[in-house]
Amino acid sequence: MEPTALDQKIRFCTAPDGVRLAYAVSGKGPPLVRVGHWMTHLERDWESPVWRPWLVELSKFNTLIRYDQRGNGLSDRNVRDISFETWLADLETVVAAAGHSPVALLGASQGAPIAIAYAAKHPQRVSRLVLYGGYARGRLKRAAPAQSEEAEVQVRLVKLGWGRDDPAFRQFFAMQFLPGGSAEQLRSFNELQRISTSAENAARIMELTNGIDVSAFLPKVKAPTLVIHAREDLRVPLDEARLIASTIPNARFALLEGRNHILLESEPAWPRFLEEIRSFVGDGPAAAAEFPELTAREREVLEQVARGLSNQEIADHLGISPKTVRNQVSALFDKLGVSSRAQAIVKAREAGLGQGKP
């Protein structure tokens, strides 16, 4: 049966500064935490033709944990402190309250820099890191004068028109996020903007995200990382994804065809998007539990070995060299106490690895 809003359990936890945070749990399987970002509402997202397909699919094979960022949705709206430090502390609070460790993180858009900082700070708590449509540097940190000017204009637009009944002001943002959206999707996203947070909070959040720079954290990330980005994303330039993928050690990059910042179920890239995430995060925590002696990268290679891939195919799949794969296969054989690829496959499959598509 397909997951529904009725299947989710909404709970509350309290951040170190006393802010009450709402989080929801749905689905079954390895834990996947969607890092908080603005314009979410734990209840209304299930009604959204934009977000509902994400929630349904991510809840099918994982225990999906998501939360409304402070100032948004069901979390406390009137908060004194909205800062990158409190966003990071809020993620720490939600992960601790949910009671899973390690977890896979899904950092989408504004959630990406928060996820990057968390993974660098808590390497033992992160099994996998997926970054979708994300960035390490906000608009004011990208050394592009046009983006700086655009950022200032957008903040003024938010302050002027976010909370109005007239949707014209918010439609500008809806079109940036969903240039290929249907009339229904754009209307729904426009309304979600209005109900998810206030104009004041939206402006505060936008000003803060414009100045984010977590590029120094990128080389410190130890978790296996998958970077996914749409080629013509109008909201976050492709160069930001390339920066992330080229700086996080051994990160794998998946380029999707499309223009929408939020991938839609109707897009040709949707099946590949789901397969990339499922194959990447589905067995991560299980592998960590069954084979704690392996490094995160060795567990990832073992997963691909269990699926029957050759060294060259693994190298192509993970975006690393065949020589690196050979060395890691040899190392994991020694640690597992096996002498052949067939023995490694049997041991890995007995532990539940290798169940997805190659």
Beta pairing class for 9-14 and 126-132? unpaired
| pLDDT tens track for 256-297 | 999 999 999 999 999 999 988 987 886 444 555 567 777 767
Instruction: Choose between 136 and 289: higher pLDDT.
Output: 136
Q: Which two tokens stand for residue 60?
A: 């099918």
Rounded Cα distance, 115 and 74, in Å: 21
At 311-341, the pLDDT tens digits run 998 887 766 788 989 999 999 899 999 999 9
Q: Angle at CA 112, nearest 5°, toward 96 and 197?
A: 80
At residue 114, φ and ψ (nearest 5 deg) are: -65, -45
Q: What is the 3-state secondary structure (H, E, C) of 236-255?
A: CCHHHHHHHHHHCCCCEEEE
Average pLDDT value for residue range 241-262: 95
Q: Is the pLDDT of residue 59 over 50?
A: yes
Residues 6+ apart with CB under 8 A from 112: 35, 131, 132, 133, 134, 135, 136, 244
What is the tens place of the pLDDT at every residue in 195-217?
999 989 999 999 999 999 999 99
Which one-letter DSSP state was computed for residue 321? -
Beta carbons of 23 and 72 less than 8 angstroms apart: no
DSSP 176-241: HH-TT--HHHHHHHHHHHHHHS-HHHHHHHHHHHHT-B-GGGGGG--S-EEEEEETT-SSS-HHHH
Higher pLDDT, 296 or 161: 161
Number of continuous H segments (helices) and E segments (strands) in the chain: 14, 8
Cα–Cα distance between 262 and 108 in angstroms, integer? 9
Amino acid letter for position 343: Q
Q: Are strands 31-34 and 103-108 parallel, antiparallel or unpaired?
A: parallel
DSSP-derived secondary structure for 111-133: HHHHHHHHHHH-GGGEEEEEEES
Distance from CA of residue 319 to its chain's centroid? 20
What's the confidence (pLDDT) of residue 285? 47
pLDDT beyond 70 at 358: no
> Is 57 within 8 Å of 46 (Cβ atoms)?
no
Which of 57, 71, 60 lies closest to 20 in space, CA to CA? 71
Residue type, 354: G
pLDDT band at 171 (very low <50, low <70, confident <90, very high): confident
Q: Produce one character per residue of 109-123: b if its CB has 16 or more CB atoms within 10 Å, e if not.
A: bbbbbbbbbbbbebe
Domains and CATH numbers, the chain: 5-141+212-281 (3.40.50.1820), 284-350 (1.10.10.10)
Percent residues over pLDDT 90 in the chain = 62
Separation between Cα atoms, residue 76 and residue 18, nearest integer Å: 10
**DSSP class of 137:** B
pTM to 2 decimal places: 0.78
Above pLDDT 70, what percent of the chain? 92
> CA dist 141 to 81, 137, 209, 232, 341, Å?
22, 5, 10, 20, 47
As a residue count, the chain comes to 358
Query: What is the residue-averaged pLDDT of the chain?
Result: 89
pLDDT at 87 over 80: yes
Other beta carbons within 10 angstroms of residue 358's beta carbon come to 12
Residue 117 has a pLDDT of 98
pLDDT band, very low/low/confident/very high, at 350 (cuts 50, 70, 90): confident
